């Protein structure tokens, strides 16, 4: 048959199709009883019309997929084919079932080789997603097993089929269509002599399945991020800095942004409130800056609540009771909660001139718009940190930064883009611009704020969702689809997180809680 002669149409099965369906089933299933009775098919179509899918060629039925709704907990455990029907051969369709059960997929022998079975399987998967069902289950025959029954056990046969050392027309096809073997079923279909009565319990998980829950508790899947490419400038007072920050937060809120992001040490110009001579003592100047942090925390938390937006306040200097200084990014939730992430890796300049200490805790934060991580500038150049966050199901990584030269900026940019690809997450990069020769310690800045995505078909060709004009004060928006992350992590062209060879290597976070006295050792 020539491809030019095909006129294929995918549609739902109707009761009027039964004569053609019977002919097709008798031809394909001649060894296990042939076609279902007409009443069985009519009842199945009546109870679950969307699940009965047909392919026709010029009004001739050439492929069919029959499907029932079932309860996942019941049919994801051992069962027999007879458990699916009553004594009158009526399929026990569960109207409120949370899973689909693949009863039959059959292709006219004359049409094999055109991948029509794959087309039917994809239609089933699309239906499963659209109905928000948990999974597709199926009892899969292993019709070539009888050829090997004297040589190996069914389990050994399954292993060799999965390793492609043996081809089984049904199991090999199902494995190629992303179904996983959950268990071996005994006496599934006793009359199936070719399979010796055995079958596999197969499952395809709907990675987009969302359990029923309150609308208010439903996690957002569409997230809008707003970033402020902040210009460093002289300020006459603390209030002037906060007024400028509130101006941007108000603008981002007007566009219904879920996050407002600021750069690292965005309030550093406050060191300029000291006279020039006092600024020469760099350690004293940074302690002077730390003195404003509590006031900023109070005001930014107020803004987060008032403007209904989560604020990632770049970073600010915090002085602890022991006199140690830390560079800390604060997350101000719009419900009033405040959380913090310290910079862990301190640059030589920070350590030498300001005596900044590195933190010892790394967290993923739950927000009403996804699970997020924060790595401050230099931290993003250490890939272990973002991988630890990815292992905790991080969706968005925020990187507030401060770089003075373009080569410094490019280190942060290229590392951030690598983190998005290798961890299959979004990365939001936010920096500061402007030259301030009148203030010691912060003469020049270079930045181009950006939003990076994984690199696959669902995302822009260069994996850049948004970016600002370099060295210009402005705000940037980007809409992030968290559902696309779920898809790329499970069904992408490559699946970096899934394919790690954890049999060869692993990564762990050491417990440093003893430093704060929070760890409870065994007595």
Dist CA 334 CA 368 (whole Å): 9
Among residues 41, 44, 47, 45, which one has the least CA distance to residue 96?
A: 47
Per-residue tokens: 445 = 């800045």
- The DSSP call for residue 426 is E
Handedness of CA 497, 176, 54, 184 (dihedral sign): negative
Helix H or strand E segment including 260: strand 259-261
Cα 423 to chain center, whole Å?
10
Cα 235 to chain center, whole Å?
41
Per-residue tokens: 338 = 């405040």
- 181, 202 contact by CB (below 8 A): yes
- 477, 229 contact by CB (below 8 A): no
Reported residue count of the chain is 523
12 bridge partner residues: 53
Dist CA 210 CA 389 (whole Å): 23
Among residues 305, 268, 247, which one has the least CA distance to residue 432?
A: 268
Strand 474-481 with 222-231, pairing:
antiparallel
Among residues 478, 444, 481, which one has the least CA distance to residue 227?
A: 478
- 169, 107 contact by CB (below 8 A): no
Strand 53-57 with 8-12, pairing:
antiparallel
Dump the DSSP string for 103-159: EEEEE-GGGTTS-HHHHHHHHHHHHHHHTT-SEEEEEEE-TTGGGTTTTS-HHHHHH
Per-residue tokens: 67 = 């499907």
Among residues 82, 322, 65, 56, which one has the least CA distance to residue 188?
A: 82
Per-residue tokens: 158 = 């399954």
How crowded is residue 517: how many other Cβ atoms within 10 Å of its Cβ? 7
Strand 310-312 with 325-332, pairing:
antiparallel
Active-site residue numbers?
Answer: 264, 343, 377
């Amino acid at each position: 048959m020539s491809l030019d002669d095909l006129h294929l149409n995918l549609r739902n099965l109707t009761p009027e199709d039964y004569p053609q369906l019977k002919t097709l089933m008798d031809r394909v299933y001649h060894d296990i009883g042939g076609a279902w009775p007409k009443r069985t098919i009519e009842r199945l179509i009546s109870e679950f019309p969307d699940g009965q899918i047909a392919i026709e060629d010029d009004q001739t039925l050439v492929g069919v997929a029959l499907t029932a709704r079932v309860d996942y907990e019941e049919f994801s455990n051992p069962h027999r084919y007879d458990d699916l029907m009553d004594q009158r051969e009526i399929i026990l369709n569960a109207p409120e079932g949370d899973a689909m059960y693949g009863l039959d997929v059959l292709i006219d022998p004359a049409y094999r080789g055109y991948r029509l079975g794959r087309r039917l399987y994809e239609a089933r998967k699309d239906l499963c997603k659209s109905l928000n069902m948990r999974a597709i289950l199926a009892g899969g025959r292993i019709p070539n097993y009888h050829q090997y029954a004297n040589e190996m056990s069914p389990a050994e046969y399954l292993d060799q089929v999965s390793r492609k050392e043996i081809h089984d027309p049904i199991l090999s096809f199902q494995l190629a269509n992303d179904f996983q073997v959950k268990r071996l079923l005994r006496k599934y279909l006793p009359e199936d002599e070719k399979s010796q009565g055995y079958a596999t319990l197969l499952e395809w998980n709907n990675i987009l399945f969302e359990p029923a829950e309150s609308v208010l508790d439903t996690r957002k899947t569409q997230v809008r991020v707003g970033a402020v490419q902040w210009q460093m400038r002289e300020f006459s007072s603390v209030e002037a800095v906060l007024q400028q920050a509130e101006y941007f937060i108000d603008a981002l809120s007007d566009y219904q942004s879920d996050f407002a992001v600021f750069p690292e040490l965005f309030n550093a110009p406050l060191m300029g409130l000291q006279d020039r001579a006092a600024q020469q003592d760099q350690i004293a100047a940074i302690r002077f800056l730390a003195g404003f942090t509590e006031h900023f925390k109070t005001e930014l938390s107020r803004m987060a609540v008032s403007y209904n937006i989560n604020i990632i306040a770049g970073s600010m200097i915090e002085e602890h009771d022991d006199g140690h200084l830390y560079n800390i990014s604060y997350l101000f939730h719009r419900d009033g909660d405040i959380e913090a992430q310290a910079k862990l890796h301190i640059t030589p300049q920070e350590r030498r001139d300001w005596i900044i200490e590195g933190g010892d805790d790394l967290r993923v934060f739950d927000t009403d718009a996804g699970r997020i991580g924060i790595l401050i500038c230099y931290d993003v150049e250490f890939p272990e940190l973002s991988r630890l966050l990815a292992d905790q199901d991080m969706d968005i990584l925020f990187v507030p930064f401060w770089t003075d030269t373009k080569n410094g900026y490019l280190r942060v940019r290229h590392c951030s883009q690598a983190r998005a690809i290798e961890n299959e997450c979004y990365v939001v990069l936010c920096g500061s611009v402007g030259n301030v020769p009148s203030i010691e310690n912060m003469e020049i800045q270079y930045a181009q704020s950006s939003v990076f995505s994984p690199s696959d078909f669902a995302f822009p060709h260069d994996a850049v969702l948004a970016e600002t004009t370099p060295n210009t004060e402005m705000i940037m928006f980007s809409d992030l689809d968290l559902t696309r992350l779920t898809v790329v992590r499970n069904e992408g062209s490559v699946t970096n997180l899934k394919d790690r060879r954890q049999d060869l290597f692993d990564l762990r976070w050491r417990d440093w809680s003893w430093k704060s006295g929070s760890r409870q050792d065994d007595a």
